[in-house]
Amino acid sequence: MTQKNYDAIIIGAGIIGAAIGYEMAKKGRRSLNIDMLPAAGYGSTSNSCAIIRLYYSTLDGCAMAYDGYNYWKNWQTYLQAPKEEELVKFHECGTLLMKTQQNGGLKKQMAQLDALDISYEHWSVEKIMQRYPFYDMANFHPAKPMNDEDFGKPTGGRVQGAIFCQKGGYISDPQFATRNLQLATERVGGEFLFNSRVAEIPTENGVVQGVVLKDGTRINAPVVINVAGPHSQKTNAMVGAEIDMKITTSALRQEVTHLPAPEGVDYSAFATVVSDSDIAVYSRPEIGSNILIGSEDPECDKHIIVDPDNYDKNFTDQWTVQAMRMGQRIPTLGVSNKPMGCVDLYDVTEDWLPIYDKSCIEGYYMACGSSGNQFKNAAVAAKAMVGLIEHCEAGGDHDNQPFKYQLETVDHKINMGTFSRLREINQDSSFSVLG
């Protein structure tokens, strides 16, 4: 059974998949997003911490994040949404980044912010304490597992201070943001197909032909884009795209901790996003005066690679260790005996940077390995991917002469070879994530 033809099939309808569908449809391409789940943003996107921040350890990363911020800041304009349409809220509370031994006092990050003329403030320990009077600013680095006899003990001295970027914050409902993108895509002619799992990606003479669904339905298209999130590795295996890949993707199990703020503290009224590599966690306000706490993946924490179709969704000691690390900074923080938060998957590469690339199969493209740090870049990643696809489909040799994408709101060109499947591990990466 064959359905009508499309110009492009996007496997996945998470935040980046939906954004790619939108950008494709705006270009006049007949696009179809296929997702095995019942709604857009229903998978790992729904549990994203959805942090919007501008600081990065590389210039390209910082420029891309700045461009992405501008789309979130002007979300209604980007979506071409009618005034009466309900849209997700961007909480621009700012981001506070601690200067620590672990991050070299932020010298790299400040150099990139300066190069792009992104403003920030230096905050002393005293200034931090004015905003967070319940903080203990002692050093606890390096992070340790809970069974270490020195866990939770100060290691001497205090945190060096911080930088504060006003441009930044978080999205209140990442699934709703993806729904916003779906509606925008449909307004310009793009389509979505839910509760449908891709079972086969047929090729002919090394050229992709479309997809075959689990129920046997065949859908034809000359372009297929893998944006399957934690299922990206399995999707690549269907078509044999992994044959030449130096950088690969895996489904990494993650836990996010939610805790009530200290008693009597209206946390969401003043709190910012905080990255604190000294205690190896990041945090942001959460609904109901709660604190959302995620791991910055220190070396002592075990990385658990799983089968995305079969993994433990229960909280473990990782939930507790994140709570206890936050308790080092906030001594009055209580740890609930009824864990709240979420257990979900990241789609990650060896260097924690995404793959935005073509493949060895003509017409088959990849936007994967993006979990944990690319939510904020959804719009710009989608625009760059569509540009790369157009370049390659017109005969461009991206592998040998990488496509360069001119950012629309920032005067900077991104060398898309940075995100190649053929790259060596990027040693400039922080090898960690922030939401």
Helix (H) or strand (E) holding 65: helix 59-73
DSSP-assigned beta bridge partners for residue 410: none
Adjacency order of strands within the sheet including 210-213: 198-200, 210-213, 218-220
pLDDT at residue 187, rounded to an integer: 98
pLDDT at 428 over 70: no
Phi/psi for 77 (5° steps) reads -65, -45
Amino acid at 62: C
pTM above 0.75, yes or no: yes
Q: Alpha carbon of 141 to those of 137, 158, 298, 326, 378: distances in Å?
A: 12, 10, 10, 13, 33
Nearest to 329 by CA among 162, 105, 92: 162
What is the helix (H) or strand (E) element at residue 34, kind and residue range? strand 31-34
pLDDT of residue 288: 86
Position 373 pLDDT exceeds 90? no
- Is the domain defined by 8-85+173-248+351-419 classed in CATH 3.50.50.60? yes
Task: Compute the distance between CA of residue 289 and CA of residue 379 in angstroms, rounded to an integer.
Answer: 30
As annotated, the residues of the chain forming the CATH 3.50.50.60 domain(s) are 8-85+173-248+351-419
Contact assessment for residue 33 and residue 18, using Cβ atoms and an 8 Å cutoff: yes
Which pLDDT tens digit goes with each residue over 381-395? 999 999 999 999 999
136 by Cβ neighbours in 10 Å (0-12 / 13-18 / 19+) ranks as middle
Residue intervals of the chain classified under CATH 3.30.9.10 are 90-170+253-341
Enter the CATH code of domain 90-170+253-341: 3.30.9.10
Alpha-carbon 385 to chain mean position? 16
- Determine the average pLDDT of the residues in 29-41: 98
